[in-house]
């Protein structure tokens, strides 16, 4: 039985029985500012009193225009066009449509294969799930997914979490680059791999290959975008500018449903009409209320210099987690970047997901929220990804509760997977 939420305050959530939960994973790694932030809620209240909804083909709105200006200024390179959607999945779906239409526009309809990685997670809508290397979430859906985008997957070497440069090169060669519409990559993984970090050399090589062969590089920054990793965007760590960047989750930090697809000017210029009329869209996308939440969130991130703060707090949290890992044999490793971190766990291959769910339950009993991740025994993990404005004292409280949760897993399972 789930508890009934009563209210939230900063990193804390309370249920109707009066129990407090420290949010160690920002909901689903999306409530990046914590709860009840006045800078956001008061802007939303003002917007609600003015107007909640105006249809995107009939009006734009001041918060939407201003949000687009902020996002395109923050984004690297010439990611100068923004299309709004309501969820990360819709954003990925839109990116897949755009990549397909981009090649169709130039009479290259054969360029239709989408290459992604396994493990990866890009969303629950059919196209996004077809592009996801997440067998657990795809289970039973093959009849639906088989008719979706032509998708190929690159897989890491045995025992590794992410594919290396050579494996990506080989996968692209096997598909034949002239068939390739797009490569979709998570700079730092989430639900599938538990914060496995892409080698910057992979991102740089994919950028080179995209330029050489004319496919689009799509960065899924739904989780990693907007400060989470200690940079504005996960791709910034590699100095790479993708052709399409999808933002979600933290863009409105859980205050409203919102996501955004940023598109390079060169890609938008391939069409003789505005992207909005190329892509069509969703009824609620970019409505004024969600735009006000997004704008207030992004302005908060800028005003508090959140990426720099996350570099510091991420280092601090990581050190504390490394200490935990040394004390609890069930912990296999600590991974991630900034505050997109995870504890890799020694899992039982016969029972995945197993230990991650046990730990999430144990943590809940200690008043701590964690997010389970992984697709198999090698990737099974829990994400530790608190709000980006957490204080040091809050991070220490998180680790204290996590320590108790790990201790209460009796007995700590012996290491099962060796490589
Ligand atoms: N891409 C990534 C990297 C994600 O982490 C998620 C959500 N976990 C999605 C896409 C899908 O986003 P949503 O749940 O908002 O549809």
In a domain, 415, yes or no: no
122 lines ligand 1 (CB under 6 A): yes
pLDDT band of 414, cuts 50, 70, 90: low
H/E element, 344: strand 340-345
The residues, any chain, with a CB within 8 Å of residue 7's CB and separated by 6 or more, are 13, 14, 35, 36
pTM of the model: 0.97
Asked if residue 418 belongs to a domain, the reply is no
Beta bridge partners of 363: none
The secondary structure element, H or E, covering residue 74 is: helix 62-74
Residues 116 and 230 occupy one common structural domain: yes
Residues 261 and 347 in one domain: no
Q: Tell me the pLDDT tens digit for each residue of 39-92.
A: 999 999 999 999 999 999 999 999 999 999 999 999 999 999 999 999 999 999
Average pLDDT over residues 294-321: 98
Q: Are 281 and 56 in contact (CB under 8 A)?
A: yes
pLDDT for 416: 55
Total count of domains within the chain: 2
CA of 224 to the centre of ligand 1 (A): 10
Is the reported ipTM for this assembly greater than 0.85? yes
Contact 398, 22 (CB under 8 A): yes
What is the band of 23 on the pLDDT scale with cuts at 50, 70, 90?
A: very high
pLDDT tens digit string along 116-164? Answer: 999 999 999 999 999 999 988 989 998 888 777 688 999 999 999 999 9
Cα 25 to ligand 1 centre (Å): 14
- Residue minimizing CA distance to atom 14 of ligand 1: 88
What CATH code is carried by the domain that includes residue 26? 3.90.1150.10
Question: The domain spanning residue 296 has which CATH number?
Answer: 3.40.640.10
**Confidence check: pLDDT of 265 > 50:** yes
- Helix-strand-coil split of the chain, %, nearest 5: 40, 20, 40
358-to-26, 293, 380 alpha-carbon distances in Å: 19, 35, 12
Name beta bridge partners: 183.
115, 217
Q: Is the CB of 123 under 6 A from ligand 1?
A: yes
User: Any idea what DSSP says for residue 281?
Assistant: -
Mean pLDDT over 195-209 rounds to 98
Q: Are the CB atoms for 314 and 337 separated by under 8 Å? A: yes
Structural domain that includes position 344: 5-30+305-408
**Is the beta carbon of 221 within 6 A of some atom in ligand 1?**
no
Instruction: Report pLDDT for 202.
Output: 98
pLDDT, residue 325, reads 98
Q: Could you list the beta-strand ranges (E) of 41-170.
A: 81-85, 113-117, 150-154
């Amino acid at each position: 039985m789930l508890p009934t939420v009563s209210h939230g305050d900063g990193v804390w959530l309370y249920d109707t029985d009066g129990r407090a939960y420290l949010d160690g994973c920002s909901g689903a790694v999306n409530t990046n500012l914590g709860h009840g932030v006045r800078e956001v809620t008061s802007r939303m209240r003002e917007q609600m009193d003015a107007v909640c909804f105006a249809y995107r083909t009939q009006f734009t709105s001041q918060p939407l225009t201003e949000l687009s200006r902020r996002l395109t200024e923050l984004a690297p390179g010439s990611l100068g066009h923004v299309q709004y959607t309501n969820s990360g999945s819709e954003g990925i779906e839109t990116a897949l449509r755009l990549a397909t239409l981009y090649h169709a526009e130039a009479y290259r309809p054969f360029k239709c294969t989408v290459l992604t990685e396994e493990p990866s997670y890009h969303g629950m809508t059919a196209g996004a799930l077809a592009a996801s290397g997440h067998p657990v979430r795809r289970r039973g859906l093959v009849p639906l997914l088989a008719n979706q985008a032509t998708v190929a997957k690159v897989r890491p070497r045995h025992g590794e979490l992410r594919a290396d440069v050579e494996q990506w090169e080989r996968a692209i060669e096997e598909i034949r680059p002239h068939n390739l519409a797009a490569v979709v990559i998570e700079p730092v993984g989430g639900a599938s791999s538990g914060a496995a970090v892409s080698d910057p050399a992979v991102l740089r090589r994919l950028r080179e290959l995209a330029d050489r062969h004319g496919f689009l590089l799509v960065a899924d920054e739904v989780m990693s975008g907007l400060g989470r990793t200690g940079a504005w965007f996960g791709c910034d760590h590699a100095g790479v500018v993708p052709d399409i960047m999808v933002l979600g989750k933290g863009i409105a930090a859980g205050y409203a449903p919102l996501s955004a697809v940023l598109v390079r000017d060169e890609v938008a210029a391939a069409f003789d009409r505005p992207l909005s009329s190329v892509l069509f869209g969703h009824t609620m996308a970019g409505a004024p209320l969600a735009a006000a939440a997004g704008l207030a969130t992004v302005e908060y991130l800028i005003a508090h210099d959140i990426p720099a703060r996350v570099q510091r707090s991420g280092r601090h949290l990581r050190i504390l987690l490394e200490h935990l890992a040394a004390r609890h044999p069930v912990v296999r490793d600590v991974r991630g970047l900034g505050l997109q971190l995870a504890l890799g766990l020694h899992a039982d291959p016969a029972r995945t997901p197993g230990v991650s769910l046990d730990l999430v339950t144990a943590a809940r009993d200690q008043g701590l929220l964690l997010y389970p991740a992984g697709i198999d025994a090698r990737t099974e993990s829990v994400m530790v990804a608190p709000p980006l404005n957490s204080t040091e004292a809050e991070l220490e409280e998180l680790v204290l509760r996590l320590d108790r949760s790990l201790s209460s897993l009796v007995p700590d399972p012996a290491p099962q997977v060796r490589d």
